Amino acid sequence: MAVTDGPDQEEAISLARQGKMEEALEWYDRALAARPKNEIFLTNRSIVLISLGRYEEAVVASRQAASANPYSADVWINKGVALDKLGRHPEAIDALEQAVVISPYNAYARALLGIVYQKMEMDDKAEAQSRLLKEIVFPREYAGFYFATAVFLLGLLLGGIQSVEGKPIGVTIFSEMMIILLFCALCGLYWRSLRLFQEINRDVLSAPGLVAGRDNQSMQRMYGPIGLLVVVFVGGIIAGILVWAHFS
């Protein structure tokens, strides 16, 4: 996903959230007059145009964004949405296929691609996208359980090490550091899993959300699960200490 180009864009995002799409469009037109090759402004302008039903202009804006950064999946998704709305389904397929090449685990792009395949009565390809989508979504539905189990066991191990009497200091410190590093790695992997999983919650029948606004909201929703992972880890440590104390 693209990254916000500065706090000044918050005005346009705020206008869009309030449904003031025409005013948001005017903001992006002014901004692009000063920075005509800004990929994020071009991307968000195309999204506003899609929301306004101005699909031809959205296609043009998406092409400009693709020229600025052809490696952004969002650019091709926006183009695919606009082309689909225009009934130009073969071109929409080309754009969305490009999006999934860039971002193979983008569930939103794959869902859209499957929908357009269905409209073109390309049932085999639509079914293939459906299977791929399930492969992307299914593991992440249970990711919280898997990661929580892993960090609890790490906490249990760390608690046990803490409770052993007469342990060599060097070995203990090394073991504890390794466990903490593994915990941090699991948190990082879970964070990435959450980012990917959030793609499936986007409404595939409407315009994509504005880039910066979507990223900010996604980040806020991810703090809770990561915090819960930390609590589970601490709970594992406490459980490890209690178990060792019971059997020692």
pTM: 0.60
Tokens in use for 108?
A: 């939103």
Phi, psi values for residue 53, rounded to 5°? 80, 15
Tens of pLDDT, residue by residue over 169-193, are 666 788 888 888 998 888 888 887 7
- Tens of pLDDT, residue by residue over 139-150, are 555 677 778 888
Query: What does the pLDDT look like over 95-104, one tens digit per residue?
Result: 999 999 998 8
Count how many Cα atoms sit within 13 Å of the Cα of residue 41 in the half-sphere of its side chain. 20
Helical ranges in the chain per DSSP H:
10-17, 21-34, 39-51, 55-68, 73-85, 89-102, 107-119, 123-141, 143-163, 169-197, 211-247
pLDDT at 5 over 50: no
Kindly state the tokens that stand for 160.
Answer: 């046990």
